[in-house]
Chains A and B, each alone.
Chain A
C-alpha cells in the first residue's frame, strides 16, 4: 500500500504537468478554429455561390473525417510530403484547429442566420458598408448568440485533444499512458487523467459561463 502511494505520488506531478500541454493544445486549436470559423461562416452566409460551395466541402471534409485519421494524414502525410518537419505539437494544434473551425463555422452560421434581416438593413440604411455592418452590428450579436454552442465545442475539443497522444505530444493522455505502461497500477493513472480532464472541463465551462453572464444584454433573452 505504501509502495503504491509513494509510486503514484512520484508520478503524479509528471502527469499533472501534462495539463499545461493539454490546455495549450486546446486553447491554440480553439483560437485557430475561431479565427477560421468566423470568416468561413460569413462566407457561407453572405458569400457568392462559389464561396458557399467551397465552405460546404471544407466543413464536410473536416467534420466527416475522424480526428485520428486527420492527425495521421496531416502529420505523417501532408506535412511530411511538404518537407515541413512540423513538430508534433504544432501538427496537433493545426489539425484540431482545422477540424474545430469546421464545427465552429456551423455554430456561427446558425447565429448569423438567426439574426433578423432588419439588423443588416438598418445598418446599411445609415450608410454602413457591408464590412462595417458585419463588424459593428452583426458579429457582436452573432457571437453572443454563439456562446452556448461555443462552450459545447470547448468541452468536445478538450476530449478530442487526448487523441494527439498518437503523435506523442506530451499532454495528459500521453503521459498517463506512458506511466501506466510501466507499472501494474495503470487504472490509477487513467483515473488521474480522467479527473484532470474533468477538472479542466469544469474550469473552462465556469469561465465561459462568466463570459456569458458578462456579455448578456439586459432584457434580451437570447
Chain B
C-alpha cells in the first residue's frame, strides 16, 4: 500500500476529521482522507453509509460541522464565500442524477460556467465547450437539450461540464448507478480515459469490477466512518476476511440474484 501511494508524492486533497450531523444524527464521524496528485480512490459501502454526504462536504455543498479541508496543502476557509467559490472551481463534481441545467443545451451546460464563473467571452467559452463535448464523444449533440439526451449522454455532458473548469480533483458520486448497464459502459469509458490522463479522483461507486480496475485504494465506509482502506488486491484477496470482501461478495450475489 505504501509503495503504491509512494508513487504519488504531491498532495492534492486532504480531509481531516470531517464530521457532520443531519437531522440530529451523526452522518460523518471524523472522516479523514488523503488524495495525492493523480491518485484515484474509490469509496464503497452500503447505501446510507455517508458517501454522498462526504463527497459533498469536500467542496462544502454540505458544510461540515467540524474538520479541515486542504487543497494542495492550503487550508480552505469554510466561512469565506469567495474562497469557497474559488475552491469549487478547482474541484469538479459529478452527481448520481447528472443535474444538468434543463433549460440549456449540451453546449450551454458546458459553456455557462466558463462564461459566468471564469469570465471567458462567449465565443471562447463556446469553442472550449465544443472541445469538451468532443472529448466525451458528444460532438454531434451540442444543440440538444438534456430532455433529448439518454442518461449516458447526460452524464457525459455533466463530465464535460466539470472538465471545462480545469479541475485539479474530480469527485464522482455513483456516476453510473442511475444508468442501465448498456448506458453505464459509455460513461465508464469516459471515466477510464480521464483516469488514464492522470486525473485525481475520489469516486463513490457500486460498480466493483470497475472500482478494482481503476482504484489505487479502496475506502470502505459504514455508518459515517471509513472502517477499512487499502489497495484492492489486498482488501479483496480471497480469504482476507475483510468487511470489504464480505460486502463485495454479497454485492455480486445480489447482482446475480437480480438477473
Within 141-161 of B, Cβ neighbours of A (below 8 Å) are at 144-148, 158, 161
Q: From B165, which residue of chain A is reached at the shortest CB distance?
A: A126
Nearest Cβ distance between residue B125 and chain A, in whole angstroms?
A: 13
| Segment of B112-120, B197-205, B207-215, B236-244 in the binding face | B112-120
Say if the beta carbon of A136 comes within 8 Å of chain B. Answer: yes
CA distance A129 to B102 in the complex (A): 19
20 pairs, CB–CB < 8 Å, chain A vs chain B = A116-B99, A118-B97, A119-B101, A122-B93, A122-B100, A125-B61, A125-B92, A127-B86, A127-B89, A128-B85, A132-B116, A132-B117, A144-B103, A217-B102, A217-B103, A217-B147, A219-B145, A220-B102, A220-B147, A221-B147
Flag if A127 contacts B117 (CB, 8 Å). Answer: yes
The count of residues in chain A whose C-beta lies closer than 8 Å to any C-beta of chain B is 23
Provide the residues of chain A in CB contact with B102, threshold 8 Å. Answer: 119, 141, 217, 220
User: Does A124 make an interface contact (CB < 8 A)?
Assistant: yes
Confirm or deny: A10 has a beta carbon within 8 angstroms of a beta carbon on chain B: no
B81, B113, B147: which contacts A126 (Cβ < 8 A)?
B113
Partner of B145 from the list A125, A129, A218 (CB cut-off 8 Å) is A218
Question: Residues of B contacting A122 with CB < 8 Å?
Answer: 93, 95, 99-101, 158
| B142 CB, nearest partner CB in chain A, Å | 14
Given contacts A118-B95, A217-B145, A217-B147, contact A128 B101 (CB under 8 A): no
Majority SS of interface residues in chain A?
A: helix
Q: Does A140 contact B (CB under 8 A)?
A: yes
* Interface presence of A121 (CB below 8 A): yes
Q: Which residue of A lies closest to B158 (CB)?
A: A122
Assuming A218-B144, A219-B145, what are 18 further A-B pairs, CB within 8 angstroms? A119-B99, A122-B95, A122-B99, A122-B100, A125-B92, A126-B88, A126-B89, A127-B89, A127-B117, A132-B116, A136-B116, A137-B101, A137-B112, A217-B102, A218-B145, A219-B146, A219-B148, A221-B147
Task: State whether B88 touches A124 (Cβ < 8 A).
Answer: yes
Q: How far, in whole Å, are A137 and B92 apart by their CA atoms in the complex? A: 18
Most chain A CB within 10 A, of B86, B88, B92, is at B88
Let me know if B59 is at the binding interface, CB within 8 A. Answer: yes
Question: Which positions 127-158 of chain A face chain B at CB distance < 8 Å?
Answer: 127-129, 132, 136-137, 140-141, 144
